[in-house]
């Protein structure tokens, strides 16, 4: 009986080692993964809209939303002062959580850049309306928004890291903004950036940086007093740096932008 037990143990160890040799990626056989061990979250669908001054931004829900999806709303506006434009209480899309950012005392942007941006998230539960309003303090100015549906995100704590402070450029400073790299805490994360740029003739936005690509862009009020915005992504397979992303516009006066990352299960 003892010999049979030893033989079974020896055979089991042999089979495990054989699996590891034949399947190097199966290190989880001996070392179960922790943190973000699933595949990289995927953007399944999105909508975008823009409004002129003195209107309210209303966004359409992306197609195919099911319970458990991560919903992201990114908003931008043109505002010529340091007043914080959104928060986690009154000035937000109902039912969403604000990803807190900072940029001096302004939090969402500055009078120097004359632009602001913010991001909100929630896990879909089936109660979402087909449209949602996003109020902001500077409601008399142009606004642009993006509404994303993402599958494969962590069910309870999908946001890993986000920029604080954001990056910005001064009014009339230059036509490019460098949005600095973040350091992720887990493997298999989806990195995103959102960028707002003063001046309505600034499309297209050109995105550069290893692995970075543009998802969408939009404009509000083409011309001298307008606004452009873009949002982009990068798959980050290993824990570590997301890499800097540079957003360049044909014409821009001032800009703000930041990165944030989404965990897998």
Contact 248, 257 (CB under 8 A): no
> Residue 38 has which token pair?
């699933």
> Any idea where the domains of the chain sit in the sequence?
1-32, 42-262
Label residue 34 by pLDDT band (50, 70, 90).
Answer: very low
Label residue 254 by pLDDT band (50, 70, 90).
Answer: confident
Predicted confidence (pLDDT) per residue in 8-26, tens digit: 434 443 333 433 333 332 2
Predicted confidence (pLDDT) per residue in 56-87, tens digit: 899 999 999 999 999 999 999 888 777 888 88
> How high is the pLDDT of residue 26?
24
C-alpha span between 250 and 205 (Å, rounded): 7
C-alpha distances (whole Å) from 238 to each of 16, 161, 179 are: 25, 14, 20
Residue with tokens 């037990």: 5
C-alpha span between 63 and 59 (Å, rounded): 12
> How high is the pLDDT of residue 110?
61
> Residue 69 has which token pair?
């999806």
From 173, 160, 200, select the one nearest 76 (Cα to Cα).
Answer: 200
Q: What percentage of residues in the chain have a pLDDT greater than 70? A: 75
Is the bond preceding 204 in cis, omega lying within 30 degrees of 0? yes
pLDDT, average across residues 22-40: 40
Label residue 251 by pLDDT band (50, 70, 90).
Answer: confident
């Amino acid at each position: 009986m003892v010999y049979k037990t030893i033989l079974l143990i020896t055979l089991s160890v042999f089979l495990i080692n054989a699996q590891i040799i034949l399947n190097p990626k199966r290190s989880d056989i001996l070392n179960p993964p922790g943190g973000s061990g699933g595949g990289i979250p995927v953007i399944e669908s999105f909508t975008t809209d823009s409004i002129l001054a003195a209107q309210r931004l209303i966004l359409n829900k992306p197609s195919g939303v099911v319970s458990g999806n991560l919903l992201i709303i990114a908003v931008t506006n043109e505002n010529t002062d340091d007043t914080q434009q959104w928060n986690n209480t009154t000035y937000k899309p109902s039912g969403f959580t604000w990803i807190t950012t900072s940029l001096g005392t302004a939090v969402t942007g500055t009078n120097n850049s004359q632009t602001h941006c913010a991001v909100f998230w929630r896990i879909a539960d089936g109660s979402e309306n087909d449209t949602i309003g996003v109020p902001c303090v500077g409601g008399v100015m142009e606004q642009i928004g993006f509404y994303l549906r993402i599958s494969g995100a962590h069910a309870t704590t999908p946001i890993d890291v986000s920029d604080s402070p954001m990056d910005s450029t001064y009014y009339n400073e230059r036509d490019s903004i460098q949005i600095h790299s973040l350091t992720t805490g887990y493997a298999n994360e989806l990195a995103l950036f959102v960028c707002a740029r003063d001046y309505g003739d600034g499309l297209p936005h050109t995105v550069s940086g290893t692995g970075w690509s543009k998802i969408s862009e939009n404009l509000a009020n083409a011309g001298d007093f307008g606004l452009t915005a873009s949002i982009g992504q990068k798959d980050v397979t290993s824990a570590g740096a997301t890499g800097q992303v540079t957003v360049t516009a044909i014409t821009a006066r001032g800009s703000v932008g930041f990165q944030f990352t989404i965990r897998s299960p």
